[in-house]
């Protein structure tokens, strides 16, 4: 009969004991509460006031903690501000219009000057022989700012060249980013210091300067005697050796330049150096009165993009370049993660008849989460008429843009929130048909080694890929 209700004797005993235990605990709690009430009545009024103040203090402390957390998250996760371009007639002047140059200068600080000579360099097999030649020929000064730096053949060669030049009286300055160059050993720096090379670390990580943690200097700048400069996507690491078409030999695009734009690149280095050391480099050794004149001469200027809490020069440069294209726009970028507003700008360009093509990294990417986040954006772009290609042989690391075959940009800026909002970046911008033709040719040649993403095929990707794209895109502002 007891089992009729599904309860055994043992179960009943346990239940009874539990009930008695519950009653006992309840009685004990009630007695304890009475004692607490008596004790509270016996306490002096000053103790009650102190207890109230303590509670108020805890509440205020908690509110401040929440407030600072919100402020910190906004500072860490904020995106670009630009969403539309508004104008009378057309939203932006065409890249071939004289008004475009003036617009670019007032909105981004890029001062385009005549008399520059620009040489496009492809991959390590062209870039590093040119750099070693100019560094070994330095007579007075070498300034070098580098984001990515790790031990290897290139780092060893650079050290040997810099130490030899310093011992021969050349003033040598090396500035490395604390995050990008963290693999460089103390011994490596000590050997440079012992030879007379001036070294400094840009924004080292300290607990009391955590607000600077994510604002990195992504700049690559080498200036020799204030007259010859190099910039681009290269770094001091052996992955940049080779032809850019073999495994573990990264594909990149860089530039050698002479002319007035070299002083702009030198000024970019000087800005970083004064922040890191307190010393401002000035004078004719660093900024010669007469720049080198080489033919042919092109119109060029440096975009020195610095992060701010508002709209940045980087986002304005990119938006004006996209809106200024009338016929074709070729973008090569290793980390392509456009936000909603820049997707709209690209689609708008395609819908007004511009041949918009994007070449980005393929499966050989070095940062998978960034590729996943970028691929999450493909659907909207493909539907809007933008053509997308992924480079197949190796890591595509170039950061270039060419619009209508006349407006070219080569440098360090990625097509993501980090480059547009948080990083210091440097891009050489060139307004010249010959350089534009070269950049068009480079882009088209890269497409030979790339796979075009077709919408019908892309929509067949599996649930795992879609999930990774979704999760990665949720972190897009940090990438």
Examine residue 94 and state whether it is found in any structural domain, yes or no.
no
Instruction: Look up the CATH number of the domain holding residue 138.
Output: 3.30.870.10
Asked if residue 476 has pLDDT above 60, the reply is: yes
What pTM value is reported for the model?
0.84
Examine residue 467 and state whether it is found in any structural domain, yes or no.
yes
Q: Distance (Å, rounded) from C-alpha 162 to C-alpha 438?
A: 32
pLDDT value of position 10: 35
Contact (CB, 8 A) for 411 and 427: yes
Beta strand 228-232 with 298-305: parallel, antiparallel or unpaired? unpaired
Kindly report the average pLDDT of the chain as a whole number: 87
**Region 421-440 average pLDDT:** 96
Examine residue 59 and state whether it is found in any structural domain, yes or no.
no
pLDDT value of position 213: 73
DSSP 149: B
Q: Return the structure tokens found at 90.
A: 């057309």
* 276-285, long-range: CB < 8 A, 24+ apart: 276/175, 276/200, 276/201, 276/202, 276/203, 277/200, 281/143, 281/173, 284/226, 285/140, 285/141, 285/171, 285/225, 285/226
pLDDT value of position 71: 53
Q: Return the structure tokens found at 159.
A: 């050290």
Q: Distance (Å, rounded) from C-alpha 435 to C-alpha 98?
A: 18
Beta strand 387-391 with 355-361: parallel, antiparallel or unpaired? parallel
Identify the domain containing residue 312 by its residue range.
102-478
Specify the number of domains making up the chain: 1
Give the SS3 label for residue 160.
helix
Examine residue 238 and state whether it is found in any structural domain, yes or no.
yes
pLDDT tens for each residue of 390-414: 999 999 999 999 999 999 999 999 9
Q: Distance (Å, rounded) from C-alpha 408 to C-alpha 427?
A: 10
pLDDT tens for each residue of 174-205: 999 999 999 999 999 999 999 999 999 999 98
**Measured torsion, CA atoms of residues 386, 443, 248, 338, in degrees rounded to the nearest 10:** -30
Of 91-95, 240-244, 322-326, 327-331, the poorest mean pLDDT is in: 91-95
Contact (CB, 8 A) for 366 and 335: no
Examine residue 31 and state whether it is found in any structural domain, yes or no.
no
Neighbour tally for 438: CB within 10 Å:
18
pLDDT band at 49 (very low <50, low <70, confident <90, very high): low
Asked if residue 123 has pLDDT above 70, the reply is: yes
Examine residue 293 and state whether it is found in any structural domain, yes or no.
yes
Residue 402, judged by CB atoms within 10 A of its CB (0-12, 13-18, 19+), counts as buried
pLDDT value of position 86: 66
Examine residue 9 and state whether it is found in any structural domain, yes or no.
no
pLDDT value of position 23: 37
**Measured torsion, CA atoms of residues 91, 92, 96, 97, in degrees rounded to the nearest 10:** 100
pLDDT value of position 31: 44
Examine residue 50 and state whether it is found in any structural domain, yes or no.
no
| pLDDT > 90 fraction of the chain, expressed in percent and rounded | 70
Residue 62, judged by CB atoms within 10 A of its CB (0-12, 13-18, 19+), counts as exposed
Q: Residue 432: CB partners within 8 Å, gap ≥ 6?
A: 118, 298, 299, 300, 406, 408
- 340 alpha-carbon distance from chain centroid: 18
Cite the DSSP H helix spans in 325-458: 340-351, 368-375, 378-383, 417, 433-447, 455-458
pLDDT tens for each residue of 326-380: 999 999 999 999 999 999 999 999 999 999 999 999 999 999 999 999 999 999 9
pLDDT band at 130 (very low <50, low <70, confident <90, very high): very high
What one-character-per-residue DSSP string does 192-252 give? HHHTT-EEEEES---GGGGGGTT--B---EEEETTTEEEEES--BSGGG-S-SSSTT--B-
Q: Residue 357: CB partners within 8 Å, gap ≥ 6?
A: 328, 329, 330, 331, 386, 387, 388, 389, 443, 447
């Amino acid at each position: 009969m007891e089992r009729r209700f599904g309860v055994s004797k043992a179960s009943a005993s346990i239940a009874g004991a539990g009930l008695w235990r519950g009653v006992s605990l309840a009685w004990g709690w009630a007695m304890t509460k009475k004692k607490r009430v008596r004790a509270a009545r016996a306490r002096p009024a000053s103790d009650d006031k102190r207890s109230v103040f303590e509670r108020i203090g805890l509440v205020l402390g908690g509110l401040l903690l929440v407030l600072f957390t919100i402020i910190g998250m906004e500072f860490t996760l904020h995106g670009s501000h630009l969403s539309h371009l508004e104008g009378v007639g057309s939203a932006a002047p065409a890249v071939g219009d004289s008004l475009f140059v003036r617009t670019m200068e007032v909105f981004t600080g890029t001062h385009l000057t005549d008399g520059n000579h620009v040489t496009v360099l492809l991959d390590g097999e062209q870039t590093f022989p040119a750099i070693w030649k100019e560094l070994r020929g330095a007579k007075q000064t070498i300034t070098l700012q580098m984001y990515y730096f790790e031990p290897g053949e290139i780092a060893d060669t650079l050290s040997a060249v810099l130490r030899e030049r310093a011992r021969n009286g050349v003033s040598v300055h090396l500035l490395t980013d604390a995050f990008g160059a963290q693999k460089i050993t103390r011994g490596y720096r000590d050997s440079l210091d012992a030879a007379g090379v001036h070294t400094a670390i840009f924004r080292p990580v300290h607990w009391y300067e955590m607000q600077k943690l994510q604002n990195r200097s992504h700049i690559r700048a080498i200036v020799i005697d204030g007259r010859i400069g190099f910039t681009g996507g290269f770094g001091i690491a052996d992955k940049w050796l080779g032809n850019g078409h073999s495994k573990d030999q990264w594909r990149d695009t860089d530039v050698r330049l002479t002319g007035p734009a070299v002083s702009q690149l030198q000024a970019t280095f000087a800005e970083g150096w004064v922040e890191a050391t307190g010393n401002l480099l000035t004078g004719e050794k660093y900024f010669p009165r007469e720049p080198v004149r080489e033919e042919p001469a092109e119109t060029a200027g440096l975009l020195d993009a610095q992060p701010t809490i508002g709209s940045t020069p980087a986002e304005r440069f990119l938006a004006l370049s996209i809106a200024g294209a009338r016929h074709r726009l070729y973008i090569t970028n290793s980390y392509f993660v456009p936000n909603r507003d820049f997707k709209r700008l690209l689609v708008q360009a395609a819908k007004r008849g511009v041949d918009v093509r994007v070449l980005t990294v393929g499966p050989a990417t070095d940062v998978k989460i960034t590729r996943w986040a970028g691929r999450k954006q493909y659907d909207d772009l493909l539907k809007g008429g933008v053509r997308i290609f992924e480079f197949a042989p190796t890591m595509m690391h170039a950061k270039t843009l060419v619009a209508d075959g006349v407006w070219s940009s080569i440098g360090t800026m990625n097509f993501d929130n980090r480059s547009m909002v948080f990083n210091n970046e440097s891009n050489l911008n060139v307004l010249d048909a010959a350089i534009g033709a070269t950049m068009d040719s480079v882009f088209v040649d890269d497409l030979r080694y790339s796979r075009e993403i077709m919408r019908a095929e892309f929509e067949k990707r599996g649930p795992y890929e879609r999930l990774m794209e979704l999760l990665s895109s949720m972190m897009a502002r940090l990438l």
